[in-house]
Amino acid sequence: MKIKIILFLNLIIFFLQSTVIQHFRIADIIPNLNLIVIVIFVIYFDIRSIVIYSVTAGLLQDLFLSPYIGINIFLYLIVALTITNLESVFNKVSVISPAFLISVATVMYNSIFFIFLSIMNLSYGIYEFFNILIIEIVLNVIWMIIIYKFVKTKLIER
């Protein structure tokens, strides 16, 4: 995939994540569109495109939405590379595979983020962590199914 298209997609997802998706909060938690797009990239595109998207998505999120520069770049990259290794054993036709992959990605992202917060003495309780994790997994799976079906029917199968 061309770099210009990846960067443009990054800007669109960043805009949606920081504006429109904010209206779909449940218990003050929103779906992570970047993780969803990373899983779709893992399923359909090459490693170069995955890395470019992950790094630029993390950079945008770190620069504009996070008090810590570099944490989202690291998290998205680690998650993307790990999911890339898992993806090869899954069926691309079934919607269950992307739902499982986004669940794994969400658990990884939030667990590593929680560890970073703990190291910086900024963590919240384990009970709150699991509440956030469960709600975010549900939101990400629902959004993943919707976006995956759209991408598969409108963009990939053409």
Question: Read out DSSP for 43-91?
Answer: HHS-HHHHHHHHHHHHHHHHHHH-SSTTHHHHHHHHHHHHHHHHHTTS-
Tokens read off for 144: 């993943």
The number of domains in the chain is: 1
Q: Which of 19-28, 44-53, 89-98 has the lowest mean pLDDT?
A: 89-98
**pLDDT confidence bin for 152, thresholds 50/70/90:** confident
Per this entry, what is the length of the chain? 158
- Per-residue pLDDT tens for 80-123? 999 998 877 777 778 888 999 999 999 999 999 999 888 888 76
DSSP letter at 95 equals S
Domain containing residue 39? 3-156
| CB contact at 8 A, 77 and 51 | yes
